[in-house]
A and B are shown apart, each in its own frame.
Chain A
Amino acid sequence: MRGITFDVAHMLAGSLVLVSFMQLYQDRLYALLNIFALHALILAASVAWQAFIQDAPHLYLTAMIALVFKAIVIPVALHRIIVKLGIHREIETAVGVGPAMLLGMGLVALSMVVMLRVTAEADPLAREDLAFALSVVLLGLLMMVTRRNAVSQVIGFMSLENGLVLAATGAKGMPLVVEISVAFSVLIAFIVIGIFLFRIRERFDTVDLQALDRFRGERR
């Protein structure tokens, strides 16, 4: 069934890629957090839509987790951490915005070519979803390597996880075990990150990874 259900799913997955691009050119941490919240919101909508068209009620749970946890709790918590720790609010980039956007476009093109070609026989909805999901994953990776602040790397990692959730829900009938574990691992990952941020704060004056780099093990 290709009609409206396909179009909506397509639109939501496409918007997720678009928002991933928006994350790439943010240069303020607060703005980046807001964009990430938007990212998670669209993910929640997309997952809920998948739940509706696949008639898979357990996916609503995944959507709820995305909505409550990723779109609200995490951005608020990170916001407070930034205030509390007095982290620099500008984002330092390793690669300029222009080249990063061009690289991002290249990655999206790559994932389209790869995924659409190899999934020629799968059903069209899952196919498009998977191609978009891979784009989101790669854009998340790109964000992690082009940013220097710990907080923006964490956000890059979480948007990468959003791409994985998109892929997992797009694969029809994938067992519930996995969705819960995906959400759950994000939770654990976040706790770990939280602890790390606090620990880093105890010892360093900055959460900037460049400052961490000074203490490499091999210096005499």
Chain B
Amino acid sequence: MTFDALSGVLLIPALSAGLLAALPGYRLTARLNVLAAFLSFATAVSLFVVEPTSGPYLLVDDLNKVFIVLTTFVGFTTAVFSANYIGHEIEIGRLTPTYVRFYHAMYQVLMFAMNLALVANNIGLMWVAIELATLTTVLMVGIYRTHEALEAAWKYFILGSVGIALALFGTILIYMAAKPVIGEGVSAMVWTVLVMHAAKFDPALLNVAFVFLLLGYGTKVGLAPLHAWLPDAHAEGPTPISAVLSGLLLNVALYALLRFKMLLALNPAAIAPGPLMVTMGLISCVFAAFMLYKRRDIKRMFAYSSIEHMGIIVFAFGMGGPLANFAGLLHMTMHSLTKSAIFFAVGHIAQVKGTQKIADMGGLTVTHPVLGWGLVLGVVAIAGLPPLGIFMSEFLVVSSTFAREPWLVLILVFGILVGLGGMFLRLNGIVFGEPVGPSAKAEASYVPMFAHLAIVAMAGVYLPPALVTGFQNVARLLG
């Protein structure tokens, strides 16, 4: 295999994972981690310049390019944040050097698994990659080895594996549906081949397969009845991992779902996948919005907010059509950037306060103005207030679907507004008022957080035309 950008996004993380596992010393490995993440990002960007040819196992098209660049970018900024965060964790003795070495290696394995899932041209390979990503994050969530972390990791492991198992069953059914048309062997699992012949597949088999895939990968997306692992996993793991989980891993599972949706849409006799996704999206959005009110743990609160936003995104993609798909894509990008920025802030806040309990925080804008106002800005963005990027994407979701299904959109808007209330109620207690509790000096790296927020703020006012055309192409591709 010749070395091109496609193998680059896989080889760089894979090789650096091995290297990081072997090297001692936190300072060196943290920097190497950042470097590897940056190289992956640069390689991913080069995909836009020179498009490598797709083979039977790997594939590049307009859809996954967007996902890869987003994944590697957030992976890179999170690595920068993580270098700082982990340094503090070593100082206070929450992590030992051995665990840090393990953590860095796992970080790159996770990046490898996510990139592999995105570029896989084979539904089996994609499944393996998502399973690998799940197992890696299970280990990372449990890394603190407290009661809570172990419980969260266990819960995540059990629910994640059940989801993954259902997804595999769905994958096998897709193969069964493809086999009579394409013939036995590897080609009946290749995306590009499947898409060409999808119209001739047995619709009944496709329907059942999609139900399994929706439940299976939907568990990983964190859709409402299957979301139980998500808040625990976000709250108990190291904060960089929460950022990567919310910002990236949920997207990767969503990407898998979108691919299968495209497949089903090509077969006129199969059920329309849209209504199923719309229903699950709405349930997730409204349910999570109400759950925001009773949260006492800051990371759990933002985990529920992720469920809410994944609901909105799945709703948009479920409605379909070029406009709604465009809105969904934009919202996904904005959510990834904003939510990871929030987790960067939350990570430092939890470190200076020594706790994640909302009740023990307060007056952050007085004691730590940069962190406090950074969080305020992040929450303003995530709640969807104008003029930031999420406002624009939510507005697009609503306006592009209102003419088609006004009642459904009303439910969605209700969910968004309820969520907004919950967010600000809690935010008020965290950043304003009298300072509460201990407050160590912050040794934070603010660059990743404000870089993300700046992009989000800019997107609210101005989207570069190249980006718009790119997203429009993808939206058309999604059907």
Contact = CB atoms under 8 A, between A and B. Distances in A.
Interface of A: 114-115, 117-122, 126, 130, 133-134, 137, 141, 144, 150, 153, 157, 160-161, 164, 167-168, 171-175, 177-178, 181-182, 185, 188-189, 192-193, 195-196, 199-200, 202-204, 209, 212-213, 215-218, 220
A218 B148 CA distance: 10
Contacts of A195: 139
Given A174-B175, A203-B146, 14 more contacts: A119-B205, A121-B202, A122-B180, A122-B205, A130-B172, A133-B169, A137-B169, A157-B158, A172-B179, A182-B168, A185-B128, A195-B139, A215-B148, A216-B151
Interface of B: 122, 124-125, 127-128, 131, 135, 138-139, 142, 145-148, 150-154, 157-158, 161-162, 165-166, 168-169, 172-173, 175-176, 179-180, 184-186, 188-189, 202, 204-205, 207-208, 231-232, 235-236, 294-297, 300, 357, 359
Contacts of B184: 172-173
B348 to A, nearest CB: 20
Chain A at the B interface: SS class: helix
Nearest to B208: A118
B78 to A, nearest CB: 22
Nearest to A215: B147
A43 to B, nearest CB: 15
Scoring B166, B176, B179, B186 by chain A CB atoms within 10 A of each residue's CB, the highest score goes to B176
A164 B169 contact: yes
A199 B186 contact: no
22 contacts: A115-B208, A118-B202, A118-B205, A118-B208, A121-B202, A122-B180, A153-B158, A157-B161, A161-B165, A164-B165, A167-B172, A178-B127, A181-B128, A188-B135, A189-B135, A195-B139, A199-B142, A212-B151, A215-B151, A217-B152, A217-B236, A218-B297
A175 B185 contact: yes
A119 B173 CA distance: 10
A192 B124 CA distance: 22
A199 B145 contact: yes
Contacts of B150: 196, 199-200, 203, 212
A88 B76 CA distance: 46
A50 B173 CA distance: 18
A161 B167 CA distance: 12
B162 A209 contact: no
Which 5 A-B pairs have CB atoms at the shortest separation, nearest pair first?
A173-B184, A118-B204, A215-B147, A178-B124, A181-B128
B139 A177 contact: no
Contacts of B154: 150, 196, 200, 209, 212
Contact of B232 (A203, A204, A217): A217
Nearest to A115: B208
A107 B188 CA distance: 30
A213 B151 contact: yes
B87 to A, nearest CB: 25
Given A196-B153, A217-B297, A171 B205 contact: no
A137 B125 CA distance: 21
Given A122-B180, A217-B231, A192 B168 contact: no
B235 A217 contact: yes
Nearest to A123: B180
Nearest to B186: A175
A141 B162 contact: yes
